[in-house]
Structures are given as structure tokens and as C-alpha cells.
């Protein structure tokens, strides 16, 4: 029923958003590409000429590169698994009848409102600090040797902090999805004597697949860019250097814009690989 | 008898949910509690929970040291401005994608999301130069534009999913009555999509409020929001747990309160099209 | 070309934002105690000069990243920047800072301690005025030392004495660690300590041809000694302890000795914050037997003015005010002599009132014993004690100190860390074109 008229109107209406985002993509991308082929050291006078693919080679051959890819994948993967699994369980629980459902929901979603810097500071100082952290007291209370969280268990600590921040988001989306589930279908299954686990596996989980896809897609986009949490807690030490953090070090700490830009290009490539991968796995669920 | 819930089961649910809820909320609660302690009490061994001499001293110190009002206002202006601008640009785009879908609509949506994958740290230098040239370094308008662009894909996608759920017949009926495109959007579509728009706005306020890279790196004194405010309280010399708690509480309180009041809206609206 | 055109177009669009309040200065500073005190006293400056001040107070790492971005892009977001002894000569050499060669008569620029003035100059021109200066020294608990039956020697003790004393003072049941030292990654944190310490073991960062020296015995010995001593007598989790963590440990009575910035002396002897205020002794930083370099560093937090600022006069007025003798008097009046910014001016150490401050003399002696132009046993091509004043150093040293911190956390051996340090330093120096 779409007429030619409404089609061109539609294009016109889409134009501002598309043009703006195209600009927001192209300008930085062009500049990143441009700098990535340059020897560009601001503290040594800036532009020192073209160097071809030298920055790309140097970035990828540095001993920090592959570990950073691994760290990135562990962080993203770990947080995705934890938030999705716990999110489903939590959403199932919150969907049950109970007293004070509203207040409980508020408690559960609260971490989502906390800015990353603050949540990293809170976890680092009040919980994971070796001397004054609550975890130390807790461990000592039970007679255990306190763990040096941010040095000896750095990745689990980081995954814990980031999961805490994103669990509410996953729970919210999954909860909305569960609430839309046709309760008659469930009741019928219950009448038929299907055990709870079976009902979950054959009715609830398939119903949630779309919501799970959304959770994974949106979170991956944000998790690939995690920065403040690492900056505040470990500063990239103890194997917590993600690709994003490595680029930060090259650009801002080493003041090597060319090398950092080459790293940026790799990050875009990695993001696209992950995106294609995601589309393959979860993209199907997003189609109608 | 199906789904009849016994009181016992309800009690178990309640206890379990509250226990988990409090556990998840605990770090925030602890921060708020610590903000009312003295520095010595804040690191007391063993830790004290409620029974200490409550003091407002830390808030006094923070208020004296920083111009909290200015940071707060900047945060409100930047988060609010970027969300408003984003919605204004996204509504028409989402409308046309939802009601006049082309072959490439889905691709365009995914492409929009992919623009979020460019690592911010890698482009700080070029963007900083650009901001200098444009004369918008350390200005609210500059940050409003950047945060709008960062969140625009999310806004478009969310609105698209809400619009798509609106039955086309209603629009046709409106068109029959002689409504133009403008009227259609303003009088028919928007009211129907209002709950969706509201949760979109909420989510983006949260994301913009908490964005900590650009807001910190593109500002100095004039446009610095609460993310910069908190950067002056992390690890100074000496004991700082209580003061850090007070500053943290002040930084997250406004958005936390907003979130609490609107949690129903968020719970209902945050679907990203995940619900058919 | 596209880029240039885009930029040109963008420039054409720019509304020229004229300076609205010509005399409101934007000052970037670090959130250290002395700077926060300065903020509280800003009214005095406004009263005297009529200029207003807007503060941008940031945590050290954020501050560095912020001001470096701004100076390299000539962003002009700040009129005065708080920078250190590392940045100043590099930026000065690039012409990014306003030379401070025409300061007023009463400012008395010659009164600045020569070691500080030297470290903040390039080619003999001062580019930033020191707000406070520091070296590092030993702060120790006199009561615990006595209990252990030991006595701190006059002058600089040897590292083996320190290790022995640390072991003797350690009492794990009472939660007392013989020695607290920085292990936290970051070139200005653990990196500064281990580099200064390595000097006193006869190690160096680079030889005269800029070849990294981590493959030498001297480095191996430094790192091995440090790790062994800390594992014997250091606090749990020292791999993440920086200045601030150690400060609160010492103030809570959990450290027997602490080798760190001389400015900490006023915090650990302040009875309001410190539980051990009346039993703190001071000594020069240690050295290894047979090495005539002590393991102490030299640093200053200073105020510099970015070249190209529209408010140069007002900015200079501020720099003069904040680093003047009058400012010291002002702080002394308000907060007492122990809290004045130390280590910047000779006259402070000649002041009768200041001589009563217990750590004054040791601070001065420590500062005077550090020599940035000649920091190591073997000759080096760089200037700086706990750093090398070249643009690449911050990035390299952060990476290197991360490898070292992994050793402290027990995640790799000393040999592995040094091997990695050697490789990554070589690589980075190559990238920079050495």
C-alpha cells in the first residue's frame, strides 16, 4: 500500500538520522585510517610522514596484542554468560507472585543506574581492597585467607563488577519477555503433568530466544568498549588489558597516535567479526 | 486448581527474591551508609552497619570543595539535551522504517548499531582536534551532539520496535479522515507510542548520564558533568572512603531516584522488540 | 585532502567565541591535599588581583591524560596546568609552555631550590614554577625499631639493614608489616619506586646508546631483592598498593617502615589523621653496599602556562601567587607550619619557624642528595631520577611496571618479567625511532 509519495517522504524522514550517523561513522573512520598510516607522535612534533603498514605490523606483533584479544573475549563472553543465565533465573523468580514485587524490582535494577566509574570505585575500595575491603573481613570471619582480588583474581573480579552492572539490563528485558508469555499454554502443560524443568526447556526458553538475542546483541556492543572499569581497578595490569585498553595506552600513555589508530582499525575489524558471528547465531531470532 | 498459589509458596518466593534483591543492592546501600560515617568508622574493623554516629560532615566537605550544583546542572542539561535531540531525529526515521519498510530497512538498522562499535579511545585525538576547530570544546552543545550520536542507534531501534507494534489499520483510518503525515505522527502515532517513547527516553537518560569517556575528555570547567566531579574524589591523599562515598552518592542519586520513580515504565517498556 | 577540506569547512562555520570573562582562569590540578588546600585559599588571590579562578580538579592519571591531550592539540581548555618534573622539560622543549623568565622582583625566582628549578627548566629557562617539591625518604616507627633492638644509622642505611630491620619489626599476629612499599602498576606509582631503587643497585634504564638495560644483573638483583623483602615483611596484596594505600596503612600503625615521598611526612605526623603521629622517625633513603647512589627520587608538582593562552598575564599572576613566599606564609597562618607546601624554596628551610618541624631537615637533605642530571652509577643519556625525560617513557614505564606488578602478585618470575620488559622497551624505542 506504500505509494511512491509515501516512499519518498519516508526517505526524507530517515535522512537526518542516516546522514548524521554516516558522518559520525565516516569522519572518525577516515581520520583513524589516515592517522594509522602515519608516524604521528604529538610529543615529537606531530606528523612525521607516511609509514605504510608499519603501525599495523607493529601493533599486531607486539607481545600485548594476542593476550588483549583473549582478555576482550573472556570479558565479553564471561559477562554475557553470567548476565544471561542469572538474568533468566532472576526474571523467572520476579515473575512469580510475591509480596513487595515493586520494591524488589527496584533493588534488582538499581545497579544499572550507577555510572561505571562509581561502580568500579565502590567495588575496588569497599569490597575488593586487600586491607579494608568487606570481602577481606568476610573471608577472615570464616577463617579463610583473604584473596587479593584485583591482583590474583583480576579477571574474575572484573567480570564480577561488569556483570553486576549489566545484570539488571538483562533481567529487565527477559522479565518483559516472560510476562508476555501466554499463561494458558503453561497451565495446559502443567495440567498435563509436565515437570517444571520440561516446561522451562520446551515452552519458556524457546519463547525467550528473541529476548536473549537482544540481550546478547546490545550488551556485546557495550561490553566491547568497556574502559572505565579497567582504568579504575587495575589500570590494565594483571592480564586485564583488553583491546580497547591497549589502544588507550598507545594513544594516551605512549602518545603514539599512528600506532593507536592502527589498533583502532583492528578493533573495528574485531567488532565486525563478532558482529557477523552474532548475526549468524542470534540474528535469525531477530527476524520476524 | 492450576496456578493456584499457596501462601507458603508465595512466602518462599518473597523471601528468596528479597534476599537476592538486597544482595544485588548491597554495594549501593553500603556506599550510602559509608557516606554518613566518619573516615575512621568507614574503615573500622569489624565493619559497622547501622549503629554508628551518623554525620553529614562528608557532604559538607564535598559541597565546600566542589561546585556540585554546576556539575549537576551540566549533567541534567547534557543528558536531557542529547536525549531530546536524539528522539526528535529518531522519531521520523523510526516511523518510516516501521511503516514504509524497504528491502534494506533491517540492514540500515544493523548498520546504525554497528557505528557504536568504533572504539572511542582510538578516535579521541581526531575528535578533540575537530572540537577545537569547531570551537565547541568544553561546551554543553558539543557534548549534547556527541552523546546524541552515540545513542541515536539505540533510540532509533527502540522506537522502531514500538512503532511496528501499532496496527496499520489505525493509520489508514486516520488517513481516510484526511490526516496528513504530520497530523498522523503527532495526533495518532505519538500518543499510541507514548509508553514506548517514555521508556526510550528513560534508557537514554541513563546511558547519557553515565557516559564517562567523552564527558570527561571533552570538558574542562565549563561543561563538566558529574562524571568529572567523581574523578576528583577517587584516591586523593589520606583516608577518603567516606568522602568518596558521599561524592558517589551525590553523583548517582539523581538518576537513581528518577529510575526508581519510573521503574514500572522501564519494566514494561524495555523490550527492544524482544516481545512479539 | 578530504580531511583538510572538511576541517576548513568546519573552521568557516566556527563562531568565534570571544573570551567572555577575560579574567576568569581555568586551572587544571591534581586532587592532592596541598592543591585542595590551595583551592580553599583562592579568595586571597581574587582579592589581591581581581581575577576569578575556576578549578578542574582531577585524579592524577585522569589529569595527565587530560592536560596532555589539550597541550598536544593546542586545545586551550586550560590557562594554568599542574604538571610534573617529567612533562615540563619535554613540553618546554616543544615550545608549548610560556617561559617564566620575567617573573617579578619580589617573587625572587632565585629562591627556588636549584634542584627543583633545574628539573623544571629546559636549556636554562624555567617553564613551570614548583608548587611543592619532594624527594623520597624512610619514615619509620621509632617505637618498633627500639623494640626490635635496632637503631637507624646516621645517613643512608644499606638495603640489607632495611631488610633485616623489616624482618625484625614484622609481627603478623599484630598486623604489623616491617616494610610498606609501592607495588602498584603505573610509572608514577610502583614504577617510580623501583626505578629509584634500581639506581641504588647500580642499574639504569638505558645505556648511552639508548639500549634498554633490563637484561643486566643489576636489574635482576633489584627486582629479586624487592620481591623477596616484600614477601618476607610486606603487607598482603602489596602488588596493588600505591602511595595512598601505604599512607593509610602507615597511619593505622600497620607498617614498621615506609619509603616514600617526603611530603607524606606531614600526613604521618599529623595527630588528627595518624595513630602513630608521635613515634615517627625519618632517615635518608637506603643504598646498596658499595654503591654511592641512594634510592631516592626527585619530583615537583608545578604550575605551567600553556603557550597561546589569551590570559597570559592573569595566569602569570596566579602562578606567582601560588608559588610565592607569601602563599607559604598564608598557609602557615591558617594551617600551621607543618602544612605549608614543602620542598620548593630555599627560604623556607632558613625560616626559624619551619626549623621546628621534625621532618624539615631530612626533607631538604633528601632533595639535595638527588641528582637528576647524574642519577645512576653508569652514565645515562637521559635526565631524571625515577624517570627518563623522554616522551616515550610514560608509556613504556607503565607497561614495564605492569610486568613487575605481576611478579609481586606471584604471577610470573623475575626473569620472565625482565625479559618482557626488555622486549617491549626495545620495541617501543624502535617505534619512536631511536
- Residue in chain C closest to B62 (alpha carbons) equals C36
pLDDT < 70 regions, chain A: 1-5, 282-288
Q: What are A221's three cell numbers?
A: 556492543
What range does the domain containing A223 cover? Answer: 65-240
Are A130 and C2 in contact (CB < 8 Å)? Answer: no
Residue C171, phi then psi, degrees to nearest 5: -140, 90
Is the domain of B25 the same as that of B91? no
Q: How far is CA A88 from CA A200, A281, B252, C23, C195, in A?
A: 11, 19, 27, 58, 51
Q: Which residues span the domain enclosing B56? A: 7-60
Query: Is B258 among the domain residues?
Result: no
Contact partners of C by the rule of 3+ C-beta pairs under 8 A?
A: A, B
Asked if the C-beta of C2 comes within 8 angstroms of chain A's C-beta atoms, the answer is yes
The per-residue pLDDT string of chain B (276 residues; one tens digit each, 9 = 90 and over) reads 445 568 888 999 999 999 999 999 999 999 999 999 998 888 887 888 888 889 999 999 999 889 999 999 999 999 999 999 999 999 889 988 888 888 888 888 888 888 887 788 888 888 999 999 999 999 999 999 999 999 999 999 888 888 888 877 777 777 777 777 777 777 777 778 888 888 899 999 999 999 989 999 999 989 999 999 998 887 666 678 899 999 999 999 999 999 888 877 777 777 676 665
Contact C242 B235 (CB under 8 A): yes
How far is C394 from chain A, CA to nearest CA, in Å? 6
- Do residues B82 and B146 share a domain? yes
Distance to chain B for A170, nearest Cα, Å:
10
* C410 contacts: CB under 8 Å, gap ≥ 6: A152
CB C214 within 8 A of CB C165: no
Residues 325-384 of C with CB under 8 A from A: none
Q: What is the pLDDT of residue A264?
A: 92
pLDDT computed for residue C7 by the predictor: 46
Q: List the single residue in A with minimal CA-CA distance to B48.
A: A134
Give how far Cα B112 sits from Cα of A17, B38, B63, B157, C47, Å. Answer: 9, 49, 41, 9, 54
Contact call for C239 and A259, based on CB within 8 A: no
Buried b (16+ CB within 10 A) or exposed e, C322-331: bbbbebbebb
In a domain, B90, yes or no: yes
For residues C237 and A151, the answer to whether their CB atoms sit within 8 Å is: yes
Can you give the pLDDT at residue C8?
Answer: 47
Tally of domains within chain A: 1
CATH code where residue A115 lies: 1.10.3720.10
* Cross-chain residue pair B135–C242, CB shorter than 8 Å: no
| Same structural domain, B222 and B109 | yes
CATH of domain C136-297+375-432: 3.40.190.10
CATH topology of domain C17-134+299-363: D-Maltodextrin-Binding Protein; domain 2 (3.40.190)
Q: B122 and B17 in one domain?
A: no
Cα–Cα distance measured from residue B3 to residue B59, given in angstroms and rounded to the nearest whole number = 50
Q: Is A95 helix (H, G, I), strand (E, B) or coil?
A: helix
| Cβ-nearest to A237 among C395, C402, C423 | C402
Domain count, chain B: 2
Min Cα separation C366/chain B (Å) = 21
Give the separation between CA C360 and CA C343, rounded to whole angstroms.
9
What phi and psi values does residue B20 have, to the nearest 5 degrees?
-65, -40
Inside any domain, residue B181? yes
Residue C384 phi, psi (nearest 5):
125, 140
Domains C17-134+299-363 and C136-297+375-432 are alike in CATH topology: yes
**C245 neighbourhood in chain A, CB within 8 Å:** 129, 131
C393-424 pLDDT per residue, tens: 999 999 999 999 999 999 999 999 999 999 99
Domain boundaries, chain C: 17-134+299-363, 136-297+375-432
- Can you say whether the dihedral through the CA atoms of C57, C58, C64, C66 is positive or negative? negative
The count of C-alpha atoms lying within 13 angstroms of the C-alpha of A273, restricted to the half-sphere facing its C-beta, is: 8
Residues B87 and B56 in one domain: no
**Identity of the residue in B131, B232, B235 whose CB atom sits nearest the CB atom of C244:** B235
**B55 and B72 housed in the same domain:** no
Report the residue of chain C nearest B215, measured CA to CA: C66
**Rounded CA separation C336/C278 (Å):** 17
For residue C390, the chain A residue with the least C-alpha distance is A43
Whether B34 and B144 map to the same domain: the answer is no
Residue B215 falls within a domain, yes or no?
Answer: yes
Residue B244 lies in a domain: no
**Alpha-carbon torsion, ordered C351, C352, C356, C362, to 10 deg:** 40
Tell me, yes or no, whether B149 and B51 share the same domain: no
Chain B residues contacting C, CB < 8 Å?
A: 43, 64-66, 124-125, 128-135, 137-138, 216-217, 220-222, 224, 228, 231-240
Burial C132-144 (b: 16+ CB within 10 A, else e): bbbbbbbbbbebb
Of B226, B212, B215, which is closest to residue B254 (Cα–Cα)? B226
pTM: 0.91
Short-list A131, A133, A132, CA closest to A157: A133
Helix, strand or coil for residue B262? coil
C175 neighbors C254 (Cβ within 8 angstroms): yes
Considering the domain architecture, whether residues B119 and B200 belong to the same structural domain is answered as: yes
Asked whether the beta carbons of residue C10 and residue B239 sit closer than 8 angstroms, the reply is no
Cell of C305: 602556562
In a domain, A271, yes or no: no
Contact indicator for B223, B210 with CB cutoff of 8 Å:
no
Burial of A161-182, coded b for 16+ CB within 10 Å and e otherwise, reads bbbbbbbbbbbbbbbbbbeeee
CA dist B271 and A211 (Å) reads: 8
Residue in chain B lying closest to C39 (CA): B65
Query: How far is C262 from C246, CA to CA, in rounded Å?
Result: 13
Antiparallel, parallel or unpaired: β C255-261 and C177-180 = parallel
Kindly report the backbone phi and psi dihedral angles of residue C349, in degrees, each rounded to the nearest multiple of 5, phi listed first. Answer: -80, -5
In the three-class reduction of DSSP (H, G, I as helix; E, B as strand; rest coil), residue C204 is classed as coil
Give dist(CA B122, CA B135) in Å, integer: 21
Mutate to test the interface with C, among B221, B228, B235, B247 (most CBs of C within 10 A): B221
The answer to whether residues B103 and B152 belong to one domain is: yes
Angle at C250 between CA C247 and CA C251, to 5 degrees: 85
Its ipTM equals 0.90
Mean pLDDT rounded to a whole number for chain C: 92
Do A27 and C73 lie within an 8 Å CB cutoff?
no
| A90 belongs to a structural domain | yes
Contact partners, residue B261, CB within 8 Å, separation at least 6: none
CA–CA separation, C200 vs C291, rounded Å? 6
CA distance B56 to chain A (A): 19
Which residue's entry shows cell 522488540? B273
Question: C16 pLDDT band (50/70/90 cuts)?
Answer: very low
The answer on B75 and B29 residing in a single domain is no
Beta-carbon separation of C267 and B237 below 8 A? yes
Pairwise CA distance, residues B222 & C46, whole Å: 19
Q: Do C267 and B240 touch (CB under 8 A)?
A: no
pLDDT digits (tens, 9 = 90+) for C159-208: 999 999 999 999 999 999 999 999 999 999 999 999 999 999 999 999 99
Tell me the pLDDT tens digit for each residue of C195-244. 999 999 999 999 999 999 999 999 999 999 999 999 999 998 899 999 98
CB contact under 8 A, B228 and C56: yes
pLDDT band at C124 (very low <50, low <70, confident <90, very high): very high
Residues B72 and B42 in one domain: no
Length of chain A: 288
CATH number of B191's domain:
1.10.3720.10
CA pair distance C397, C421, nearest whole angstrom: 9
Q: Does the beta-carbon distance from A13 to B95 stay under 8 Å?
A: yes
pLDDT tens for each residue of B184-232: 777 777 778 888 888 899 999 999 999 989 999 999 989 999 999 998 8
Look at residues B40, B60, B80 and tell me which one is the last residue of a structural domain.
B60
Grid coordinates belonging to C291: 654503591
Closest to A71 (Cα-Cα) out of A221, A217, A228, A237: A237
Whether residue A120 lies inside any domain: the answer is yes
C128-141 and C280-284 strand pairing: antiparallel
Amino acid at each position: 500500500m506504500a505509494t511512491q509519495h509515501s516512499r519518498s517522504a519516508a526517505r526524507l524522514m530517515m535522512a537526518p538520522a542516516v546522514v548524521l550517523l554516516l558522518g559520525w561513522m565516516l569522519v572518525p573512520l577516515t581520520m583513524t585510517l589516515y592517522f594509522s598510516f602515519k608516524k604521528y607522535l604529538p610529543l615529537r612534533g606531530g606528523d612525521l610522514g607516511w609509514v605504510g603498514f608499519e603501525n599495523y605490523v607493529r601493533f599486531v606483533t607486539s607481545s600485548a596484542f594476542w593476550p588483549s584479544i583473549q582478555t576482550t573475549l573472556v570479558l565479553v563472553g564471561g559477562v554475557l554468560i553470567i548476565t544471561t543465565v542469572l538474568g533468566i533465573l532472576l526474571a523467572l523468580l520476579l515473575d512469580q507472585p510475591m509480596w513487595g514485587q515493586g520494591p524488589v524490582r527496584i533493588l534488582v535494577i538499581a545497579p544499572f543506574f550507577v555510572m561505571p566509574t562509581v561502580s568500579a570505585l565502590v567495588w575496588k575500595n569497599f569490597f575488593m581492597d586487600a586491607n579494608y575491603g568487606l570481602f577481606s573481613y568476610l573471608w577472615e570471619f570464616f577463617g579463610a585467607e583473604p584473596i587479593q582480588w584485583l591482583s590474583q583474581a583480576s579477571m574474575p573480579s572484573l567480570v564480577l563488577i561488569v556483570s553486576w552492572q549489566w545484570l539488571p539490563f538483562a533481567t529487565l528485558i527477559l522479565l518483559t519477555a516472560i510476562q508476555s508469555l501466554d499463561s494458558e499454554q503453561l497451565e495446559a502443560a502443567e495440567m498435563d503433568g509436565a515437570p517444571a524443568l520440561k516446561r522451562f526447556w520446551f515452552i519458556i526458553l524457546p519463547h525467550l530466544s528473541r529476548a536473549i538475542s537482544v540481550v546478547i546483541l546490545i550488551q556485546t556492543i557495550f561490553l566491547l568498549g568497556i574502559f572505565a572499569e579497567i582504568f579504575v581497578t587495575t589500570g590494565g595490569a594483571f592480564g586485564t588489558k583488553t583491546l580497547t585498553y591497549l589502544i588507550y595506552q598507545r594513544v594516551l600513555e605512549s602518545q603514539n597516535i599512528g600506532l593507536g589508530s592502527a589498533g583502532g582499525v583492528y578493533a573495528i575489524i574485531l567488532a565486525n567479526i563478532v558482529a557477523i558471528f552474532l548475526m549468524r547465531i542470534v540474528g535469525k531470532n531477530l527476524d520476524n | 486448581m492450576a496456578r493456584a498459589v499457596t501462601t507458603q509458596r508465595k512466602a518462599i518466593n518473597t523471601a528468596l527474591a528479597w534476599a537476592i534483591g538486597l544482595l544485588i543492592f548491597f554495594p549501593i546501600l553500603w556506599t550510602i551508609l559509608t557516606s554518613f560515617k566518619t573516615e575512621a568508622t568507614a574503615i573500622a574493623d569489624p565493619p559497622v552497619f547501622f549503629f554508628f554516629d551518623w554525620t553529614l560532615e562528608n557532604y559538607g566537605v564535598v559541597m565546600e570543595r566542589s561546585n556540585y550544583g554546576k556539575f549537576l546542572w551540566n549533567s541534567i542539561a547534557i543528558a536531557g539535551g542529547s536525549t531530546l535531540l536524539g528522539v526528535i531525529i529518531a522519531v521520523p526515521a523510526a516511523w518510516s522504517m516501521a511503516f514504509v519498510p524497504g528491502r534494506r530497512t533491517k540492514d540500515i538498522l544493523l548498520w546504525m548499531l554497528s557505528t557504536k562499535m568504533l572504539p572511542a579511545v582510538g578516535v579521541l585525538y581526531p575528535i578533540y582536534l575537530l572540537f577545537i576547530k569547531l570551537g565547541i570544546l568544553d561546551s554543553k552543545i558539543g557534548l549534547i551532539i556527541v552523546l546524541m550520536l552515540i545513542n541515536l542507534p539505540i533510540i532509533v531501534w527502540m522506537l522502531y520496535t514500538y512503532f511496528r507494534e501499532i496496527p496499520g489499520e489505525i493509520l489508514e483510518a486516520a488517513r481516510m479522515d484526511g490526516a496528513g503525515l504530520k497530523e498522523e505522527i503527532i495526533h495518532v502515532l505519538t500518543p499510541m507510542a507514548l509508553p514506548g517513547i517514555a521508556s526510550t527516553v528513560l534508557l537514554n537518560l541513563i546511558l547519557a548520564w553515565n557516559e564517562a569517556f567523552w564527558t570527561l575528555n571533552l570538558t574542562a570547567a565549563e561543561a563538566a558533568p558529574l562524571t568529572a566531579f567523581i574523578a576528583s574524589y577517587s584516591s586523593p591523599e589520606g583516608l577518603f572512603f567516606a568522602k568518596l562515598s558521599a561524592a558517589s552518592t551525590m553523583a548517582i542519586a539523581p538518576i537513581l531516584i528518577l529510575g526508581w520513580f519510573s521503574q514500572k515504565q522501564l519494566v514494561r517498556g524495555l523490550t527492544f522488540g524482544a516481545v512479539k | 585532502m578530504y580531511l583538510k577540506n572538511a576541517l576548513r569547512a568546519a573552521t568557516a562555520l566556527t563562531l568565534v567565541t570571544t573570551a567572555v570573562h577575560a579574567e576568569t582562569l581555568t586551572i587544571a590540578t591534581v586532587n592532592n591535599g596541598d592543591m585542595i588546600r590551595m583551592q580553599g585559599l583562592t579568595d586571597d588571590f581574587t582579592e589581591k588581583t581581581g581575577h576569578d579562578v575556576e578549578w578542574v580538579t582531577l585524579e592524577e592519571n585522569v589529569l595527565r591524560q587530560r592536560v596532555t591531550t589539550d597541550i598536544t592539540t593546542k586545545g586551550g581548555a586550560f590557562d594554568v596546568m599542574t604538571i610534573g618534573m617529567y612533562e615540563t622539560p619535554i613540553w618546554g622543549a616543544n615550545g608549548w609552555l610560556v617561559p617564566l623568565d620575567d617573573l617579578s622582583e619580589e617573587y625572587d625566582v632565585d629562591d627556588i631550590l636549584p634542584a627543583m628549578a633545574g628539573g623544571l627548566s629546559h636549556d636554562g629557562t624555567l617553564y613551570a614554577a614548583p608548587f611543592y617539591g619532594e624527594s623520597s625518604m624512610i619514615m619509620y616507627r621509632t617505637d618498633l625499631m627500639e623494640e626490635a633492638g635496632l637503631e637507624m644509622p646516621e645517613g643512608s642505611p644499606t638495603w640489607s639493614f632495611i631488610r633485616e630491620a623489616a624482618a625484625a619489626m614484622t609481627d603478623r599476629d599484630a598486623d604489623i608489616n616491617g616494610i610498606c612499599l609501592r607495588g602498584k602498576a603505573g610509572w608514577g606509582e610502583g614504577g617510580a619506586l623501583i626505578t629509584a631503587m634500581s639506581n641504588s643497585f647500580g642499574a639504569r634504564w638505558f645505556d648511552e646508546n639508548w639500549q634498554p638495560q633490563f637484561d643486566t644483573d643489576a636489574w635482576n638483583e633489584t627486582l629479586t631483592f624487592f620481591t623477596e623483602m616484600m614477601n618476607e615483611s610486606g603487607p598482603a596484596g602489596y602488588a596493588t598498593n600505591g602511595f595512598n594505600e601505604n599512607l593509610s596503612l602507615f597511619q593505622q600503625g600497620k607498617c614498621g617502615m615506609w619509603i616514600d615521598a617526603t611530603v607524606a611526612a606531614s600526613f604521618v605526623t599529623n595527630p588528627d589523621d595518624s595513630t602513630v603521629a608521635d613515634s615517627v622517625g625519618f632517615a635518608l633513603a637506603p643504598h646498596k653496599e658499595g654503591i654511592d647512589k641512594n634510592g631516592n627520587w626527585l619530583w615537583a608538582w608545578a604550575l605551567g602556562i600553556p603557550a597561546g593562552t589569551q590570559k597570559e598575564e592573569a595566569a602569570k599572576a596566579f602562578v606567582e601567587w601560588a608559588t610565592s613566599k607569601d602563599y607559604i606564609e598564608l598557609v602557615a597562618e591558617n594551617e600551621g607550619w607543618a602544612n605549608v607546601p614543602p620542598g620548593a624554596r630555599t627560604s623556607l628551610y632558613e625560616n626559624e619557624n619551619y626549623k621546628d618541624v621534625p621532618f624539615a631537615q631530612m626533607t631538604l637533605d633528601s632533595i639535595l642528595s638527588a641528582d637528576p642530571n647524574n642519577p645512576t652509577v653508569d652514565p645515562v643519556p637521559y635526565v631524571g631520577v625515577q624517570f627518563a625525560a623522554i616522551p616515550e617513557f610514560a608509556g613504556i614505564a607503565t607497561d614495564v611496571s605492569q610486568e613487575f606488578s605481576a611478579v609481586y602478585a606471584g604471577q610470573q618470575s623475575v626473569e620472565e618479567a625482565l625479559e618482557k620488559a626488555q622486549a617491549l622497551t626495545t620495541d617501543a624505542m624502535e617505534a619512536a625511532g631511536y
